Amino acid sequence: CLTMLPGVVVTPCDIVGEDTLPHFREAGLADRTSYCQHDIMQSDFVPQLKRRHLRDGMRYVVLGMHCCGELSLRALEIYEEVGAEAALLVPCCFPSRASKVAPEVYEETECQDTMYLRWAEHLQRAALQKVAATDRERSIAQADPHASGVELTRVEHVMSKRDLLIRVTR
């Protein structure tokens, strides 16, 4: 909740226009947001984001709510590229079978809940690779993900079955 973070300005980014996302106005947070209309999948996204926030000591936290398909992986890339302190991801849809991004998601099941859990676990492993810079750190992280700064938990108050949170901290 932004009321707990005085002075923080949030930069929501989406490919669609700001007028289609009234969430911040409805929540009374319009004065605390600086909307960025951009396709985060494009290679110029991170440089543009950095230009918007060229202030000494700027700190980043990447928040991906209900990221469809490969957007969760892109959020992890952005986390790494901007040197964010944390990433909070609540994935939604998993990539299509045709994308071949995470074939283990689909192995021997047609159950959507199982596939969603497998996708979240795939993202957790991808996040471990981002925070563990060396082979030694990666082996420690694989043995104890909580010690690594990567956690996969269920969020009670999400009004969807897609309620897993991947929390990544440095």
pTM for this predicted structure = 0.81
Average pLDDT of 82-99? 88
pLDDT over 70 for what percent of the chain?
80
Nearest-10 Cα torsion for 114, 153, 27, 93: -20
pLDDT at 108: 92
For the chain, give the longest Cα–Cα distance: 50
Question: Tokens representing 146?
Answer: 């909580």
| Cα 123 to Cα 21, 28, 94, 115, 118, distances in angstroms | 26, 32, 10, 12, 9
Q: Residue 89: pLDDT above 60? A: yes
Pairwise CA distance, residues 86 & 168, whole Å: 5
CB burial string 106-141: b at 16+ within 10 A, e below: beeeeeeeebbebbbbbbbbbbbebbbeeeeeeeeb
pLDDT bucket at 65, cuts 50 / 70 / 90:
confident
For residue 83, what is the enclosing H or E element?
none
pLDDT at 48: 87
Q: Average per-residue pLDDT in the chain?
A: 82
**Which of 82, 51, 83, 63 lies closest to 14, judged by CA?**
63
Q: Which residue has the higher pLDDT, 41 or 83?
A: 41
73 strand-pairing partners:
none
Average pLDDT of 133-161? 73
